[in-house]
Structures are given as structure tokens and as C-alpha cells.
Amino acid sequence: MSKNIYDELFDFYHINRARPNIRNIRSTIRERLKKQYPGKTWDELDDYQRYEFKVHTMRDYLLKHTGYAKKVEKQLEEAQKGELEAFRIVNEHNEQFRTQFIEYYKESDTEEEQKKAYKEFCNNVRQLFPKETIPSFEAWKNHPITLYSIQQSSLDEALKEYQSKNYSKPLRTIPIKQSEIDHIIIECILKFLEEKYKVTVDVSAIEDCLKAQKYKENSLDLPIGLLSEQRNVKLESANIIKSLERLKNLDFISPIKEQRQ
């Protein structure tokens, strides 16, 4: 086990390393880590798992052994304001991201191993793409596919359906949405701000922050096939926390940088 786990917990909970029962504390930490994450060392845990172990699993026990209980409780309160939820979102998202690119079929596997992989593949297809027709075992062996390829196929079909509904209509029958009108109005306001007050609004940052907010609210409840390709990137919890703060403070306005002649 890496010594780093002790440093992290002792520093966070302000545990005196010279106290008489320090060996018992270390032993308890080892036992609880082994129980919660069997077969894994501290270095093998992801950020979310480490955070959960430090802030939740060891909380009550280590609070009894610190001489700074009130200070630590304040630290715990601050830590729990948004980080645990952010780590959970990142962890679940990245697990889905990883699942999309698994190559279930391996020609070198035994037939028993291939059938086991096929079963796992089918379970994930049913969960993420309930309307998708699952190929037979033999068909899957002859043409192995990943969940990502199914996702892309679903997106292609959704795009074709949208095109058939929207691009074959006469011009006079195409409705204009209020959101499209609002967009032009906003563009006019942005132009006025730039010319009159020499400030600009970072629209790209707003878009990124809103994506982070969507992840937090509900994106993990949707099948992968219904999400845009923007989800096919790994996320960082720190970015989510920072994005939510920027939305709260409307921190998107900045002076226009003058170009040197």
C-alpha cells in the first residue's frame, strides 16, 4: 500500500503522527480500504473513490482522533459542497466513455470466453440502446462491433430523419422559432457592447459551462445513443465545479484586447 494514503488522510484530518496509537489508526485505515475496495491499492483508486474514502468512509473514525475537530468539520463541509457530486458525474461518465470502445470479440479467446463477452455486449446494448436489434452470436463473431459504432449509427439515423422532416418543405411553411429570433437579438446586443463599451461576452465559455451544468443535471440518465458526440470526451471534476461557479456569477464579460499596430 502506498504511504501516500496516510499522508493524505493525516494531513486532511490533522492527525498527529507521533501519537501513541498511530499504528492502530494505520491498521484501521488499511482494513477499511481493503474492505471497501478489495484487491486495490490507494494508487489504483480513481479520484472519486479516493475522495469518497477520505471524506465519508474514514470521517467518523478519524474525527475521534484529531485535536482539531471543529476545523476538520469545516473542511469537510466545504469539501462536500459540490466535489463529491462532481466526482460521481465524472466517474460515471468516464465509465460510459470507456464502455463505448471496448472490443468484446477477441479471435484468440475460447468459445466459452467469446460467449461470455457476447453476453456482456448484449447486456450493454439492451441498457444503452433498448431499440437496437441485437445480432446473433454467429453474426456478431463474423462482424464484431463496438457500442460506439452503434451510437454513431443511431446518430446517423436521427440526422436522416431530421433532414427528411425539415429540408423537403416549401420555404413558406418552415416555421421560425422564437429562440432563433432571440439569437439575432442577442447578437445585436453583443455588437452594441463591443462597439460602445469595448467589452465582449465569451460565448464559447458560456456554451462549455452550460454543457457542464447539463451533465450535472441529467445527462447520465440518458442512453449514450441520444447524446451528441460532445460527450465522447473525458471530463474533469474541477472543470465542472469551475463552470458552475462561472454560471452563478455570470463571469463571462471581459474587455476587448486592443491589437498592436
pLDDT at 61: 93
Q: How far apart are CA 11 and CA 127, in angstroms?
A: 42
Instruction: Look at residue 87 and tell me if it is in a domain.
Output: no
pLDDT at 9: 93
190-217: per-residue pLDDT in tens?
787 777 778 888 888 888 888 877 766 6
Instruction: Look at residue 105 and tell me if it is in a domain.
Output: yes
Instruction: Look at residue 261 and tell me if it is in a domain.
Output: no
pLDDT at 98: 74
Last residue of a domain, one of 52, 81, 110: 81
Last residue of a domain, one of 81, 112, 140: 81
Q: Which residues pair with 201 in a beta bridge?
A: 253
- Looking at the structure, tell me whether residues 206 and 179 fall in a common domain: yes
DSSP result, 25-77 = HHHHHHHHHHHHSTT--GGGS-HHHHHHIIIIITHHHHHTT-S-HHHHHHHHH
Query: Helix %, strand %, coil % for the chain, to 5?
Result: 70, 0, 30
Q: Cβ atoms within 10 A of the Cβ of 10, count?
A: 19
**pLDDT exceeds 70 at position 79:** yes
- Looking at the structure, tell me whether residues 188 and 152 fall in a common domain: no
**pLDDT exceeds 50 at position 187:** yes
**pLDDT exceeds 50 at position 226:** no
Last residue of a domain, one of 172, 188, 212: 172
Domain count, the chain: 3
Quick one: pLDDT band at residue 22, thresholds 50, 70, 90? very high
pLDDT at 223: 43
- Looking at the structure, tell me whether residues 16 and 57 fall in a common domain: yes
- Looking at the structure, tell me whether residues 180 and 167 fall in a common domain: no
- Looking at the structure, tell me whether residues 167 and 200 fall in a common domain: no
**pLDDT exceeds 80 at position 225:** no
**pLDDT exceeds 70 at position 220:** no
- Looking at the structure, tell me whether residues 104 and 70 fall in a common domain: no
- Looking at the structure, tell me whether residues 150 and 183 fall in a common domain: no
Q: Which amino acid is at 252?
A: F
- Mean local confidence (pLDDT), 37-60: 88
Instruction: Look at residue 89 and tell me if it is in a domain.
Output: no
Q: How far apart are CA 130 and CA 261, in angstroms?
A: 59
105-162: per-residue pLDDT in tens?
888 889 899 999 899 889 888 887 888 888 899 988 888 888 878 777 766 666 666 6
- Looking at the structure, tell me whether residues 66 and 99 fall in a common domain: no
Q: Which domain holds residue 193?
A: 175-255
pLDDT at 222: 43
- Looking at the structure, tell me whether residues 124 and 72 fall in a common domain: no
Task: Give the mean pLDDT of the chain.
Answer: 77
Quick one: pLDDT band at residue 231, thresholds 50, 70, 90? very low
Instruction: Look at residue 50 and tell me if it is in a domain.
Output: yes
Closest among 73, 147, 74, 62 to 104, alpha carbons compared: 147
Q: How far apart are CA 222 and CA 227, in angstroms?
A: 7
pLDDT at 163: 55
Contact 256, 194 (CB under 8 A): yes
- Looking at the structure, tell me whether residues 198 and 126 fall in a common domain: no
Burial class (CB in 10 A: 0-12, 13-18, 19+), 171: exposed
- Looking at the structure, tell me whether residues 167 and 184 fall in a common domain: no
Instruction: Look at residue 128 and tell me if it is in a domain.
Output: yes
Quick one: pLDDT band at residue 32, thresholds 50, 70, 90? very high
- Looking at the structure, tell me whether residues 168 and 179 fall in a common domain: no
Instruction: Look at residue 72 and tell me if it is in a domain.
Output: yes
